[in-house]
C-alpha cells in the first residue's frame, strides 16, 4: 500500500490529494468512516468536474477505495487502509509537505484515544492485550481466501507431520485411539495391542481376517475373534464398513494424506454427549420467539440439537455400537427463569420434541437479588451471573450425563464465556458460535464504550468475547464474512483484531484470523416446518385458511393493527423482532416514500407485539413508537397490516407459504444481519427474497439469480429495486416462479442441517485429536486468558452486580 500512496505522490496527483485533504479539513468531522470518505471523494470529484476515469482509475481513487478510516489530527491525516481482506496498514500524511510515515498499531490506538479526549500519556501506558505470541506455536493459513477452511488446512498440516515424523505422530495416534471408552467400555483397541508397531501389524492381520467374509456380515458375528486380535467395537457395523476403516488406518500408516486422515478421524466414535450452551433469553420450544433476545439463536440451537442427535445415532450405529445401549445425548444448557411469563422456562428439564435423548436443561442464576434473578434479564446485563452459573451447571451436567461431555458448544458472547469456563474445568473440546458479535453491530461501540456502558456494558462483553474466541479449540461461523468481511468491509471477528477501549485497554492483536480454528459451517433450516408452498399434500387447508385470514382480513385489534383497502394486492412481507438493527421501520418508511409501491403492494409485518406498554425492552418500545409514527406520517392506513403475534412454529412455516400462494415478496431490511434465518425460511418456502446487502445475506443470496440484495440505507433505491421486480413479474408471469424455484434450490443444495452437523461432528473429532496432541502448547494461552478473566472481567462483573443489588 505504501506503493499506492507513493504512486499518488509521484504521478501528478499531489495537487488533487492536497485539495481533497483541504476539503476534508473544511468539514466538522474529525473521524471519517468508509462511507463518509467515499461520499467526500465523490463530492470532490463532482465539484472539480473530474472525469469518471479519475474517480475510480487514478491512484488517488484506488487509495480512497481501500481506505477504511481517516482521522484528522493536528497538522496531519491518519489513513487506515485495508489493501486486502484481513490486513491493515496505517500511515500519517503530513498536511504541509505530504510526507508519509508508517504508524504502529500503538500509535493508531493512541490517536483514537486522543480523538475522544481519553489519551493520558503522563499517567503511564494503558494495558495492552496481545494474543499473537500464543499463535506463534500453531500453524497458520497464508492465503486470505482460505480463511474459514481451517479443518482442510489442519488435515494437511497433520498429515504432513505424519509423513515427516511418522514415529512421533503415529505414536500419538496410537495413544489417542487407546483412549476411547464409553461408559467404562473400551472401544477401538484393547491392551493386547501395546504399541504403534503392533497396531500396524494387527491392522494387516485384521484386514486379512475380514477380507474372506461377505461385506454385509454383521460385526457381532466376528466380534470375539476381533477382540482376541486386540480390537474392540468402533470400527464398523459390518464387514464392509470395518474393512474400509481398517484400510484407512493402514493407508494412513503407509502413505498419509489429508483426505485419508480426515476420513479416518471422522469415523472414530468419540462424541457421545454434547452440550450446547445458550444461557440468555427465553429458551424454549413454544411461545418464546420474537421476545427480546430470543430469535434465531434459539431456532438454530434447537434445530442443531435435533439434527446432532440424529447424526450421532447414525454415526455410532455405523461404527458398530449398539445405540440402544450407547445412547447419544445432547443437552441444551440454558437459564431457568422462575417468573417465566407463561413459557416453560421455569422447568428444569424439558425433552426436545421429536428426539430420543435431547434435552433442555435449565439451571437458575444464583439469587443475588431475587427482584432481578427470578425474571428475564437482558443479555447485556447478565455478566455477573455467569461464573457461578458455570459452576452450578457443571454439577448438573455431570449428573445428567453421568459423566463428562465430549464437546461443549457455546452460543453468543455469554454462552461462549460459559463454554470456556466449563471446557477449562472439564478438559473438553470447546467450540464457539458467535451468531452475532455486537462490536460491529453498534458503531463506535468500543471507542465510546464509556458513554454507553450503563446501557450495554460492552467492556464486559468485548472482554468475554476476546477470552472465549481465543480459548476455543475451534470456531464455527455461518459465513466467510463473519470472520473477515468483504473486500469493502471488515468482518465481525476482524473487528477484534485491533481496537481501543479508551482508559481500559488497547488490543493490539485480538485474535489470529489466519488460525485454522476458524471454519465456515452455515446453519440449515427445519425442513419439516419450512418447505415449498407447492407441496400442497403436506399442508393443512384449515391452517392455511386461518392464517390467510390472519394475514389479510381478520379484524382483531388485540392481534392486528391495520385493515387493508385491497387485500388482493401483492404482499410485501417481513417478519422480525422489533430491534433497531432489524429495521422494520426502515422498510415501512421505504414503503411510505414510494406511492408506486403502495399502489401495487400491501405491506405486511409480523413483529411480535403491538403495544408499547407490553414491553420492558427500551429498543423494542422505541421501534414501536417509530412504526406508529411512520404509518401516520405517510398515511399508510389501508395499505399496511402489523401483526403483533408470536406464531407457533407450525404457523410460522405456513405463513410463508400463504404469502407465496399470493405471489408475495419477502423483504429483510436489516441494517446489518449476521446470517438471517428468516431468509432461508422465506426462500425454501418459495418466496422471492430481497435481503440486506450488509452481512450474511450477501453469501446466502446470489443477486438476481435466486434473490436480490437491497441497501437499507438507501430507501428510494430499495423501493426502485422491488418495483423493478414487481414490474418484471407483470410483464412476464413466469419471472416470479423462476426466482422462487431458484431460491428453493439454493437452500436445499447449500443450507441443510445434515450438511451442518456432519461437518460439525467431523470438526469436533479432528480438533479433538489436534487438542490432544497440542495441549501443552495451548496451556500458556489459557493461563493468560484465565488472568484476564479473573483480573479484568470479574472485578467489572462484580461492580455491575453491586449496581444490580441496589435495583
Ligand atoms: N421468528 C418468529 N416469530 C417472530 C420473529 C421471528 O418465529 O415474531 C423466528 C423466525 O422465523 C426465525 C427467527 O425467529 O426463525 C429469527 O432468526 P433470524 O436469524 O432471522 O434473526 P435473529 O432474530 O436471530 O436476529
Ligand atoms: C443471530 C442473528 O443476528 C442472525 O443473523 C442469525 O441468523 C441467528 O443468530 C442464528 O445464527
673 CA → ligand 2 middle, Å: 7
88 and 223 share a domain? no
Please give the residue range of the domain that contains residue 63.
2-103
pTM greater than the 0.90 cutoff: yes
Strand partners, 691: 668, 709
Mean pLDDT (whole number) for 778-796 = 97
The kind and range of the H/E element at 32 are strand 31-33
Residue closest via CA to ligand 1's atom 10 equals: 678
Best residue for ligand 2 mutational test, from 293, 300, 522 (most atoms within 8 Å of Cβ) = 300
Ligand 2 nearest atom to the CA of residue 678, by list position = 7
Residue pair 332/283 in contact (Cβ under 8 Å)? The answer is yes
Residue closest via CA to ligand 1's atom 24 equals: 296
Q: Which ligand is nearest to the CA of 610?
A: 1
Looking at residue 617, what is its pLDDT?
Answer: 81
C-alpha cell at 671: 441494517
651 and 720 share a domain? yes
649 CA → ligand 1 middle, Å: 11
Q: How far is CA 563 from CA 554, 603, 640, 642, 643, in A?
A: 8, 11, 7, 9, 11
Best residue for ligand 2 mutational test, from 289, 435, 582, 699 (most atoms within 8 Å of Cβ) = 435
676 CA → ligand 2 middle, Å: 5
71 and 204 share a domain? no
681 and 570 share a domain? yes
Coil, strand or helix at 664: coil
Please tell me the distance from the alpha carbon of residue 291 to that of residue 236, in angstroms, as a whole number.
46
Ligand 2 nearest atom to the CA of residue 677, by list position = 7
Q: 3: burial class by Cβ within 10 Å (0-12, 13-18, 19+)?
A: exposed
Q: Which ligand is nearest to the CA of 644?
A: 1
Through-space distance between the first and last CA atoms of the chain, rounded to whole angstroms: 53
634 and 546 share a domain? yes
**pLDDT surpassing 90 at residue 727:** yes
**pLDDT surpassing 60 at residue 1:** no
Q: How far is CA 705 from CA 113, 525, 593, 665, in A?
A: 45, 20, 27, 15
- How many folded domains does the chain comprise? 3
**How many other C-beta atoms can be found within 10 angstroms of the C-beta atom of residue 75?**
9
Looking at residue 184, what is its pLDDT?
Answer: 85
Residue closest via CA to ligand 1's atom 16 equals: 296
Ligand 1 nearest atom to the CA of residue 678, by list position = 20
Please tell me the distance from the alpha carbon of residue 167 to that of residue 161, in angstroms, as a whole number.
10
Ligand 2 nearest atom to the CA of residue 523, by list position = 11
The C-alpha angle 437, 439, 445, rounded to 5 degrees, equals 155
Residue 635 belongs to domain with CATH number: 3.40.50.2000
22 and 167 share a domain? no
Measure CA 150 to chain center. 16
Residue 163 belongs to domain with CATH number: 1.20.120.1230
Q: Which of 254, 252, 242, 235 has its CA nearest to residue 209? A: 242
Mean pLDDT (whole number) for 249-274 = 95
Ligand 2 lined by 436 (C-beta under 6 Å): yes
Please tell me the distance from the alpha carbon of residue 582 to that of residue 579, in angstroms, as a whole number.
5
Best residue for ligand 2 mutational test, from 289, 296, 379, 698 (most atoms within 8 Å of Cβ) = 296
The kind and range of the H/E element at 763 are helix 753-788
Q: Which of 665, 572, 579, 565 has its CA nearest to residue 615? A: 579
Residue pair 610/631 in contact (Cβ under 8 Å)? The answer is no
Confidence tier at 777 by pLDDT (50, 70, 90): confident
Ligand 2 lined by 297 (C-beta under 6 Å): yes
Structural domain contains residue 621: yes
Residue 51 belongs to domain with CATH number: 3.10.450.330
Q: Are strands 181-182 and 185-186 parallel, antiparallel or unpaired?
A: antiparallel
User: pLDDT digits over 55-94, tens only?
Assistant: 989 999 999 999 999 999 999 999 999 999 999 999 999 9
**Do the interacting molecules here have an ipTM over 0.95?**
yes
Q: How far is CA 110 from CA 115, 120, 501, in A?
A: 9, 9, 11
C-alpha cell at 792: 479484568
530 CA → ligand 1 middle, Å: 13
Percentage of the chain lying above the pLDDT 70 cut: 100
Ligand 2 lined by 379 (C-beta under 6 Å): no
Ligand 2 lined by 298 (C-beta under 6 Å): no
Mean pLDDT (whole number) for 659-674 = 97
Ligand 1 nearest atom to the CA of residue 645, by list position = 8
Q: Which ligand is nearest to the CA of 492?
A: 2
**How many other C-beta atoms can be found within 10 angstroms of the C-beta atom of residue 534?**
16
DSSP annotation of 381 reads: T
Confidence tier at 676 by pLDDT (50, 70, 90): very high
Please tell me the distance from the alpha carbon of residue 491 to that of residue 143, in angstroms, as a whole number.
16
**pLDDT surpassing 90 at residue 790:** yes
Structural domain contains residue 804: no
Structural domain contains residue 542: yes
Mean pLDDT check: name the lowest of 187-196, 776-785, 788-797: 776-785
The C-alpha angle 659, 664, 669, rounded to 5 degrees, equals 100
Please tell me the distance from the alpha carbon of residue 85 to that of residue 96, in angstroms, as a whole number.
32
97 and 222 share a domain? no
Percentage of the chain lying above the pLDDT 90 cut: 88
Q: Which ligand is nearest to the CA of 479?
A: 2
668 and 737 share a domain? yes
Ligand 2 lined by 476 (C-beta under 6 Å): no
567 and 656 share a domain? yes
Measure CA 305 to chain center. 16
Ligand 2 lined by 478 (C-beta under 6 Å): yes
412 CA → ligand 2 middle, Å: 10
Helices (H), 567-671: 584-593, 595-600, 618-633, 649-661
Best residue for ligand 2 mutational test, from 478, 579, 683, 689 (most atoms within 8 Å of Cβ) = 478
Ligand 2 lined by 522 (C-beta under 6 Å): no
Please tell me the distance from the alpha carbon of residue 505 to that of residue 126, in angstroms, as a whole number.
6
Ligand 2 lined by 435 (C-beta under 6 Å): yes
618 and 715 share a domain? yes
Ligand 2 lined by 677 (C-beta under 6 Å): yes
Residue pair 295/577 in contact (Cβ under 8 Å)? The answer is yes
Name, in order, each residue with C-beta under 8 angstroms of 140's C-beta and a sequence gap of 6 or more.
512, 514, 515, 516
Provide the Cα torsion 54, 89, 146, 500; round to 10°: -130
% helix, strand, coil for the chain, step of 5: 50, 15, 35
287 CA → ligand 1 middle, Å: 12
Q: Residues enclosing ligand 1, CB less than 6 A?
A: 289-290, 295-297, 299, 575-577, 606, 608, 646-647, 652, 675-678, 681
Mean pLDDT (whole number) for 496-524 = 98
**pLDDT surpassing 80 at residue 516:** yes
φ, ψ for residue 188, nearest 5 deg: 65, -70
C-alpha cell at 666: 419477502
536 CA → ligand 2 middle, Å: 29
Residue closest via CA to ligand 1's atom 4 equals: 290
296 CA → ligand 2 middle, Å: 5
Q: Which ligand is nearest to the CA of 433?
A: 2
Ligand 1 nearest atom to the CA of residue 608, by list position = 8
Q: Which of 266, 277, 360, 354 has its CA nearest to residue 312? A: 266
| Total residues found in the chain within this entry | 807
Structural domain contains residue 58: yes
Ligand 2 lined by 412 (C-beta under 6 Å): no
Structural domain contains residue 290: no
Ligand 2 lined by 668 (C-beta under 6 Å): no
Structural domain contains residue 665: yes
592 and 675 share a domain? yes
Structural domain contains residue 609: yes
User: pLDDT digits over 200-231, tens only?
Assistant: 999 999 999 999 899 999 999 999 999 999 99
298 CA → ligand 1 middle, Å: 9
Please tell me the distance from the alpha carbon of residue 433 to that of residue 245, in angstroms, as a whole number.
31
DSSP assignment string, 350-364: EEPTT-SSEEEEEEE
Ramachandran area for residue 129 (φ above 0: left; ψ -120 to 50: alpha; else beta): beta
Ligand 2 lined by 751 (C-beta under 6 Å): no
Helices (H) and strands (E) in the chain, counts: 32, 25
Of the three residues 731, 751, 771, the one that is the final residue of a domain is 751
Q: Round the CA-based radius of gyration of the chain to a whole number and report it.
A: 28
Structural domain contains residue 468: no
Across the chain, mean pLDDT equals 95
526 CA → ligand 2 middle, Å: 15
703 and 568 share a domain? yes
User: pLDDT digits over 374-419, tens only?
Assistant: 999 999 999 999 999 999 999 999 999 999 999 999 999 999 999 9
Q: Which contacts of 212-216 are long-range, i.e. CB under 8 A and separated by 24 or more positions? A: 213/239, 214/239, 215/239, 215/240, 215/243, 216/240
Ligand 1 nearest atom to the CA of residue 297, by list position = 24
DSSP annotation of 27 reads: S
Ligand 2 lined by 706 (C-beta under 6 Å): no
Of the three residues 265, 287, 322, the one that is the final residue of a domain is 265
Ligand 2 lined by 674 (C-beta under 6 Å): yes
Looking at residue 597, what is its pLDDT?
Answer: 98
Please tell me the distance from the alpha carbon of residue 316 to that of residue 322, in angstroms, as a whole number.
8
Residue closest via CA to ligand 1's atom 14 equals: 295
User: pLDDT digits over 432-488, tens only?
Assistant: 999 999 998 888 999 999 999 999 999 999 999 999 999 999 999 999 999 999 999
Amino acid at each position: 500500500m505504501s506503493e499506492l500512496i507513493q504512486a499518488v505522490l509521484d504521478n501528478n496527483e499531489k495537487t488533487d490529494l492536497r485539495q481533497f485533504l483541504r476539503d476534508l479539513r473544511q468539514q466538522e468531522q474529525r473521524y471519517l468512516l468508509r462511507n463518509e470518505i467515499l461520499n467526500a471523494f465523490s463530492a470532490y470529484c463532482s465539484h472539480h468536474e473530474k472525469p469518471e476515469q479519475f474517480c475510480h482509475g487514478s491512484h488517488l481513487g484506488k487509495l480512497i477505495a481501500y481506505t477504511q478510516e481517516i482521522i484528522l489530527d493536528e497538522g496531519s491525516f491518519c489513513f487506515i487502509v485495508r489493501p486486502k481482506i484481513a490486513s491493515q496498514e496505517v500511515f500519517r500524511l503530513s498536511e504541509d509537505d505530504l510526507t508519509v510515515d508508517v504508524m504502529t498499531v500503538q500509535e493508531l490506538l493512541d490517536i483514537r484515544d486522543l480523538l475522544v479526549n481519553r489519551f493520558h500519556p503522563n499517567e503511564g501506558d494503558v494495558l495492552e492485550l496481545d494474543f499473537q505470541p500464543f499463535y506463534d506455536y500453531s500453524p497458520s493459513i497464508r492465503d486470505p481466501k482460505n480463511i474459514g477452511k481451517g479443518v482442510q488446512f489442519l488435515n494437511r498440516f497433520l498429515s504432513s507431520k505424519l509423513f515427516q515424523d511418522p514415529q512421533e505422530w503415529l505414536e500419538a495416534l496410537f495413544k489417542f485411539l487407546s483412549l476411547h471408552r464409553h461408559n467404562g467400555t473400551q472401544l477401538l483397541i484393547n491392551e493386547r495391542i501395546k504399541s504403534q508397531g503392533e497396531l500396524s501389524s494387527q491392522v494387516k492381520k485384521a484386514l486379512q481376517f475380514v477380507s474372506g467374509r461377505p461385506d454385509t456380515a454383521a460385526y457381532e458375528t466376528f466380534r470375539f475373534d476381533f477382540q482376541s486380535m486386540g480390537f474392540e467395537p468402533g470400527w464398523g457395523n459390518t464387514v464392509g464398513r470395518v474393512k474400509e476403516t481398517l484400510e484407512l488406518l493402514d493407508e494412513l500408516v503407509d502413505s498419509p494424506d489429508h483426505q485419508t486422515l480426515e476420513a479416518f478421524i471422522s469415523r472414530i466414535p468419540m462424541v457421545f454427549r454434547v452440550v450446547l450452551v445458550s444461557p440468555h433469553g427465553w429458551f424454549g420450544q413454544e411461545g418464546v420467539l420474537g421476545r427480546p433476545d430470543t430469535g434465531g439463536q434459539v431456532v438454530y440451537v434447537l434445530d442443531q440439537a435435533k439434527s446432532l442427535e440424529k447424526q450421532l445415532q447414525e454415526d455410532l450405529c455405523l461404527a458398530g455400537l449398539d445405540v440402544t445401549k450407547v445412547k447419544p445425548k445432547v443437552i441444551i444448557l440454558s437459564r431457568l427463569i422462575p417468573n417465566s411469563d407463561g413459557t416453560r422456562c421455569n422447568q428444569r428439564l424439558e425433552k426436545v420434541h421429536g428426539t430420543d435423548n435431547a434435552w433442555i436443561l435449565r439451571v437458575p442464576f444464583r439469587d443475588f437479588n431475587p427482584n432481578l434473578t427470578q425474571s428475564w434479564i437482558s443479555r447485556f446485563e447478565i455478566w455477573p451471573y455467569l461464573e457461578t452459573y458455570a459452576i452450578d451447571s457443571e454439577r448438573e451436567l455431570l449428573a445428567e450425563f453421568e459423566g463428562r461431555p465430549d464437546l461443549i458448544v457455546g452460543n453468543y458472547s455469554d454462552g461462549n464465556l460459559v463454554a470456556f469456563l466449563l471446557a477449562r474445568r472439564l478438559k473438553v473440546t470447546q467450540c464457539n458460535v458467535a451468531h452475532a458479535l455486537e462490536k460491529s453491530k453498534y458503531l463506535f461501540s468500543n471507542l465510546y464504550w464509556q458513554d454507553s456502558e450503563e446501557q450495554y456494558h460492552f467492556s464486559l462483553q468485548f472482554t468475554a468475547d476476546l477470552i472465549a474466541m481465543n480459548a476455543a479449540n475451534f470456531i464455527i461461523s455461518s459465513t466467510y464474512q463473519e470472520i473477515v468481511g468483504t473486500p469493502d468491509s471488515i468482518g465481525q471477528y476482524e473487528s477484534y483484531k485491533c481496537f481501543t477501549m479508551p482508559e481500559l485497554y488497547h488490543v493490539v492483536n485480538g485474535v489470529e484470523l489466519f488460525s485454522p480454528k476458524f471454519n465456515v459451517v452455515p446453519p440449515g433450516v427445519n425442513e419439516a416446518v419450512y418447505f415449498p408452498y407447492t407441496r400442497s399434500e403436506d399442508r393443512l387447508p384449515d391452517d392455511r385458511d386461518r392464517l390467510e385470514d390472519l394475514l389479510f382480513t381478520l379484524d382483531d385489534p388485540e392481534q392486528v393493527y391495520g385493515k387493508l383497502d385491497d387485500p388482493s394486492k401483492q404482499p410485501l412481507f417481513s417478519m422480525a423482532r422489533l430491534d433497531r438493527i432489524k429495521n422494520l421501520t426502515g422498510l415501512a418508511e421505504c414503503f411510505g416514500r414510494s406511492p408506486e409501491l403502495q399502489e401495487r403492494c400491501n405491506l405486511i409485518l409480523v413483529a411480535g407485539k403491538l403495544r408499547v406498554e407490553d414491553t420492558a425492552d427500551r429498543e423494542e418500545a422505541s421501534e414501536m413508537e417509530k412504526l406508529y409514527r411512520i404509518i401516520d406520517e405517510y398515511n399508510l392506513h389501508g395499505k399496511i397490516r402489523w401483526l403483533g403475534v408470536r406464531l407457533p412454529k407450525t404457523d410460522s412455516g405456513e405463513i410463508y407459504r400463504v404469502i407465496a400462494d399470493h405471489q408475495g415478496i419477502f423483504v429483510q431490511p436489516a441494517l446489518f444481519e449476521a446470517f438471517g434465518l428468516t431468509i432461508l425460511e422465506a426462500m425454501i418456502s418459495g418466496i422471492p427474497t430481497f435481503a440486506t446487502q450488509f452481512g450474511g445475506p450477501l453469501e446466502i443470496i446470489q443477486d438476481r439469480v435466486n434473490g436480490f440484495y437491497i441497501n437499507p440505507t438507501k430507501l428510494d433505491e430499495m423501493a426502485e429495486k422491488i418495483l423493478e421486480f414487481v414490474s418484471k413479474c407483470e410483464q412476464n408471469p413466469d419471472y416470479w416462479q423462476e426466482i422462487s424455484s431458484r431460491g428453493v434450490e439454493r437452500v436445499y443444495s447449500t443450507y441443510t442441517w445434515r450438511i451442518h452437523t456432519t461437518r460439525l461432528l467431523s470438526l469436533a473429532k479432528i480438533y479433538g485429536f489436534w487438542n490432544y496432541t497440542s495441549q501443552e502448547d495451548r496451556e500458556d494461552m489459557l493461563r493468560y486468558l484465565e488472568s484476564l478473566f479473573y483480573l479484568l472481567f470479574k472485578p467489572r462483573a462484580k461492580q455491575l452486580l453491586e449496581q444490580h443489588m441496589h435495583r
